[in-house]
């Protein structure tokens, strides 16, 4: 008997020079890693492994620079060690093109929630390298993580976005709901 795959639909947009073009992509929910095809990019989205350290670190440093944050090598290496520790709930996905170039990363943390017996997933960092932006990569990475969360029985994904990041907010408004809650920080 043939196995029926549960499907999820990702709505992908990419920039065609002068306008946005939209299309839908059917994604098998239980498949990991995923291969995504956009008109301009074929990429594999998968969990990081030890061989991804150099590419992840290079993108991580560009991301930190874009955010105006200078992190020490020690902090960056600690984050990578957490990502690669099988007992830690901090994980990362990478999007890699057909030639092996890492295009983007998504760091996330899976954690319990006091209002449910299901886990939550906090998307901590999502970064697409500058030449690859506006091609549907960020949306595909979120769709991949959402498919994994459905398979694992998580309750939801959530993330923070800079209020002034209009491009990111446009994507997030399209694929998710805006939380009614505000975030507050108390530095210690």
CATH C-level class of 31-175: alpha beta
* CB contact set of 60 (below 8 Å; sequence gap of 6+): 76, 79, 105, 127
pLDDT score of 35: 57
Task: List pLDDT tens digits, range 135-180.
Answer: 889 999 999 999 999 999 999 999 988 888 888 888 888 888 988 8
Strand 120-128 relative to strand 156-159, pairing: parallel
Q: What is the mean pLDDT of each run of 10 residues along the chain (188 residues)?
A: 36 40 40 52 89 96 93 95 96 94 97 96 96 91 95 95 87 87 86
DSSP 118: S
Percent of the chain with pLDDT over 90: 57
Give the residue extent of every domain in the chain: 31-175
């Amino acid at each position: 008997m043939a196995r029926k795959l549960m499907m999820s639909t990702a709505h992908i947009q990419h920039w065609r020079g002068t306008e946005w073009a939209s299309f839908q992509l059917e994604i098998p929910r239980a498949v990991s890693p995923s291969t995504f095809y956009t008109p301009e990019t074929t990429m594999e989205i998968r969990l990081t492994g030890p061989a991804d350290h150099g590419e992840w670190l290079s993108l991580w440093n560009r991301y930190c620079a874009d955010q105006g944050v200078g992190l020490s090598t020690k902090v960056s290496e600690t984050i990578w060690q957490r990502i690669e520790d099988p007992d830690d709930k901090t994980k990362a996905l990478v999007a890699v093109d057909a030639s092996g170039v890492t295009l983007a990363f998504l760091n996330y943390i899976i954690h319990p929630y006091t209002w449910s017996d299901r886990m939550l997933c906090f998307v901590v960092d999502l970064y697409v390298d500058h030449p690859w932006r506006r091609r549907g990569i960020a949306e595909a990475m979120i769709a991949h993580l959402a498919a994994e969360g459905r398979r694992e029985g998580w309750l939801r994904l959530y993330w923070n976005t800079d209020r002034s990041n209009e491009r990111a907010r446009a994507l997030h408004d399209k694929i998710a709901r805006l939380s009614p809650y505000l975030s507050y920080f108390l530095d210690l």
